[in-house]
Structure 1
Amino acid sequence: MNQTKYFIIDFDSTFTQVEALDVLAEISLKDNENQANAIEEIKSITDQGMDGCMSFRESLKKRLDIVNANQKDLPELVDRLSKLVSPSFQRNTAFIDKYRDQIYIVSNGFKDFIVPIVSKFGIKEENVFANEFIYNEAGAIIGFNEENMLSANNGKPNQIASLNLKGEVFVLGDGYTDYEIKKAGLAHKFYAFTENVRREKILNEADHEAPSLDEFLFSQKLERAHSYPKNRIKALMLENIHEGAIQRLKNEGYQVEIYPAGMTEDELVKAIKDVSVLGIRSKTQVTKKVLDNAKRLLSVGAFCIGTNQIDLNAALKKGVAVFNAPFSNTRSVVELALAEIIMLMRNLPDKMSEMHKGKWNKSANGSFEVRGKTLGIIGYGKIGSQLSILAESIGINVQYYDLEEKLALGNATACPSLEHLLKSSDIVSVHVDGREENKLIIGSNEFELMKHGVVFVNLSRGHVVDVDALARYIENGKIHGASVDVFPEEPLSNDHPFQSPLMGLKNTILTPHVGGSTLEAQENIADFVPSKIIEYINTGSTTNSVNFPNITLPTLSQAHRFIHIHKNEPGILAEINNILAKHGINIGGQYLKTNDIIGYVITDIDKNYQEEVIKDLKLVQGTLRFRVLY
């Protein structure tokens, strides 16, 4: 027979995000020139009391003496604290409502401000145990009721003992006085609540850490707002991803681990095991071997345009959604390409190098305007087409070649073949994606077809150009100037060496894969990619995923959402619906999309169902991944 569960919850820094007396001091001392020092002293005394370094009664007396507050300060205090209720308590009102008879607020704070706040959440006034202020005739707070057992040392254990609770007692709090209940043998478990403050000394004494109320409710399998605690979602961010993205994920409640460089396959295999979200840029290879070792991975974020560094099919078969930033750094790459074209046409790289060596070489030899020249763009996608527009605006004639039929922008013209483009262009700029078919599309044969004195630019992918051949054609004078931002092999970090046959060549610009590395681009990426990952985890929406069937879902409301990812085989949807029918479950909404490899089914149902249905759905043949959202 299940025992009744009782929940003992602290108020300061647990139910609310702050210590109430600290806030009261801000109010009562607002006209005091020593307010800042007084508040810091109060916080120091609070911490000593919470860590068990000072007796509670001594801590309380010292703080009240400094606060010097009045009864008229309390309405403002209640108003402020009401806005500072811990977020996880605000969203889990269903738990509070269901267990209101078994929830007790036991606090060393004061009923005077606690009751008005917790009663709004349905917590009974008779279940609030706290201290009481004593006022003088003018309403000044001159002390506290010293006969109240919570005003004394060891007050919380004594208060719980007096309640004589028959059942399992769970304590949720952030301070030593909360741990004392468990220490006295009056609680089944003590959870150190760390959503607002983390006290290492208290964590060492706790049975469990509760980074939020969601974590406590999940561990006890109780009514909760979130199907899975966000603090259990671990994100690993590699390659110096912008701080904005890190903060976005932290604000969502995820554990975020940062690694400043790329990782080798073996390093990532070791690191990926418990990771739910992986963030990379261009250097880290997410291979099948890596994905096979990812036990909890939900999503990979490529904080760049390309995704050729990720085995998209292996990710798909694993049920891992991949998101990138297809538009966020387009402008940055285009601006660099255009700037480098102008610099190469003017032979500036050599002139700049000579100036740094003290050589003044003022000459027009080998320097040309770009106006009237023909730019051949290989790959007329997001970057190629935007380069087309900007180049044309400064008088360059534009032509392009793409495997797919693309609508020409402005006065650009499509070339019937790559050979035609190479033979007729003064400048050749490569902007293809990283698919395997594009490997070495520019080599000796292609360089041989180009005009003598051509300018060559590659800001796309390192493996699309034969760099040894490029070096030969720069050295023999066929290529007037070259700019390369991407290389077949790139260092994992800034601390690793770089080698290339292009180093030291005349009129050659080498940049360390910085085409999209502007603050504006990185800020855009840092906002876009995490937003898509968070949306996928929270709702199941796969909009802009590069490997999953794209589906945009409505916001989930008063329902549970079943996410079923399976091999794209006949009959699976029918089997899913048969299982739901067998369990008497009515479907509120259902969404299905497939590609060649997987089927993605989302089913919204009423919140009341038996757990057996989940077990049955996971056993459907061909299931790759199943999860529940609410």
Structure 2
Amino acid sequence: MARLVSARIFPSQWFQVSRLPSIRSPLNWHSAAGSGDLSFRGVKLSNPPGFVAAALEVPKSARHSPGSENCLPSEEVIRTWCDADAVCFDVDSTVCLDEGIDELADFCGAGPAVAQWTAKAMTGSIAFEEALAARLSLFEPSLYQVNECMEKRPPRISPGIAKLIRMLRAKNVDVYLVSGGFRQMFKPIALELGIPPENIYANQLVFGNSGEYVGFDPAEPTSRSGGKAVAVQHIRQKFGYKTLVMIGDGATDLEARQPGGADLFICYGGVQMREAVAAKADWVVSDFQELIAYLA
């Protein structure tokens, strides 16, 4: 059973996720200023796997690359990748085959309308915070709906990602999830992949006393444009990493590639190939095996 924590994070505590005791307590609802114990019943993390993986077919539209030179990494890019002591992964359409907010919206009956906003957010044509607020306002998910969606539609892990993360961890590379999605939906994914919960930097849904949707925590850096860059810069500064790599598919992931942030941005197009993002990436891959090959 996955145990998810809804923790209100204030500006002075942007990057801290509290650990709660492992002893299970009764489910409590909390307002925007509080925190709650979220338990997603029925989410299986091991055997049989609740996360559908490698055998799944990737959409044909994703099986192409922009045809630019950055599909063939330079020696410098390869050296940076192999020397990384920290790797930050986007989650939606990277670690997972799905866009979490789109799946949740579809489950709640607002899929097509929300997907349109997601496309705008990922290409960078609109401020991320505006797109996030607009999408959530279209269906306002309750805590019960989030729980039920996670039970009935467990995240589908991208082919090869589990092996890649195992190899990185075996090389003592620290792995982080940095996403504009929701922490409530990512904690079981992190658990399955062996990523510590404190290595999740994501948004936080906020619920009222009866589990009704209240909003999202605007104090989270990833709730706004440029937020992933802020998160990655914080990670690097806090832990003093010499070489940090960002892997993702969207414009918000590309933003993390700047001084004090990621040294390398790898565009993963195995689910969605966003041409505008791929054109500015240091390296474009459509299969995680391409990254694994250089670590072997």
Which TM-score band applies after superposition, normalised by the shorter structure? 0.5 to 0.7
C-alpha contact 2:164 2:291 (8 A) present in aligned 1: no
Aligned residues between the structures: 212
How does 1:312-351 map onto structure 2 within 5 Å?
A: none
Match of 1:140, as an amino acid? E
1:71 aligns with 2:151: no
Task: Specify which structure has the bigger relative contact order, considering alpha-carbon pairs within 8 angstroms and separated by 6 or more residues.
Answer: 2
Q: Deviations over 1:384-405 (max 9, x none)?
A: xxxxxxxxxxxxxxxxxxxxxx
1:42 aligns with 2:42: no
Q: Deviations over 1:121-149 (max 9, x none)?
A: 11111111111111012212221111112
Shift of 1:186: 1.6
How does 1:454-493 map onto structure 2 within 5 Å?
A: none
C-alpha contact 2:233 2:260 (8 A) present in aligned 1: no
Pairwise CA RMSD: 2.0
Match of 2:295, as an amino acid? L
Shift of 1:205: 0.9
Identity percentage over the alignment? Answer: 25
How does 1:155-170 map onto structure 2 within 5 Å?
A: 155-163=227-235, 164=237, 165-170=240-245
Distance 2:86 2:114 in 1: 32
Query: When the two structures are superposed, what TM-score results if normalisation uses the length of structure 1?
Result: 0.32
Cα distance change of structure 1 residues 94 and 161 upon mapping to structure 2, 3 Å threshold: closer
Counterpart position of 1:207: 282
Counterpart position of 1:18: 98
Distance 1:150 1:44 in 2: 20
Larger Cα Rg: Structure 1 or Structure 2? 1
Match of 1:222, as an amino acid? L
Shift of 1:100: 6.9
Match of 1:191, as an amino acid? I
C-alpha contact 2:124 2:252 (8 A) present in aligned 1: yes
Match of 1:14, as an amino acid? T
Q: Deviations over 1:239-268 (max 9, x none)?
A: xxxxxxxxxxxxxxxxxxxxxxxxxxxxxx
Match of 1:197, as an amino acid? Q
Q: Which of the numbers 262, 267, 276 marks the counterpart of 1:192?
A: 267
Match of 1:74, as an amino acid? V
Query: When the two structures are superposed, what TM-score results if normalisation uses the length of structure 2?
Result: 0.67
How does 1:514-525 map onto structure 2 within 5 Å?
A: none
C-alpha contact 1:6 1:102 (8 A) present in aligned 2: yes
Counterpart position of 1:171: 246
C-alpha contact 1:24 1:67 (8 A) present in aligned 2: no
Q: Deviations over 1:180-231 (max 9, x none)?
A: 011455212111111111111111111111112211232xx214xxxxxxxx
Match of 1:151, as an amino acid? S
Shift of 1:120: 1.3
1:7 aligns with 2:69: no
Q: Deviations over 1:322-342 (max 9, x none)?
A: xxxxxxxxxxxxxxxxxxxxx
Q: Which of the numbers 199, 213, 222 marks the counterpart of 1:127?
A: 199
Q: Deviations over 1:299-349 (max 9, x none)?
A: xxxxxxxxxxxxxxxxxxxxxxxxxxxxxxxxxxxxxxxxxxxxxxxxxxx
Cα distance change of structure 1 residues 16 and 100 upon mapping to structure 2, 3 Å threshold: farther
How does 1:76-475 map onto structure 2 within 5 Å?
A: 76-79=148-151, 82-92=154-164, 94-95=166-167, 97-98=169-170, 102-163=174-235, 164=237, 165-184=240-259, 186-218=261-293, 221-223=294-296
Distance 1:78 1:96 in 2: 27
Distance 2:144 2:94 in 1: 25
Cα distance change of structure 1 residues 58 and 119 upon mapping to structure 2, 3 Å threshold: same
Distance 1:101 1:73 in 2: 36
SS of aligned partner of 1:153: coil
Unaligned runs of 5+ in 2: 1-81
Q: Deviations over 1:265-295 (max 9, x none)?
A: xxxxxxxxxxxxxxxxxxxxxxxxxxxxxxx
Cα distance change of structure 1 residues 43 and 100 upon mapping to structure 2, 3 Å threshold: farther
Match of 2:266, as an amino acid? Y
Match of 1:179, as an amino acid? L
Cα distance change of structure 1 residues 94 and 78 upon mapping to structure 2, 3 Å threshold: same
Cα distance change of structure 1 residues 83 and 147 upon mapping to structure 2, 3 Å threshold: closer
Match of 1:167, as an amino acid? K
Distance 1:60 1:5 in 2: 31
SS of aligned partner of 2:92: helix
Distance 1:83 1:149 in 2: 24
SS of aligned partner of 2:185: helix
Q: Deviations over 1:452-494 (max 9, x none)?
A: xxxxxxxxxxxxxxxxxxxxxxxxxxxxxxxxxxxxxxxxxxx
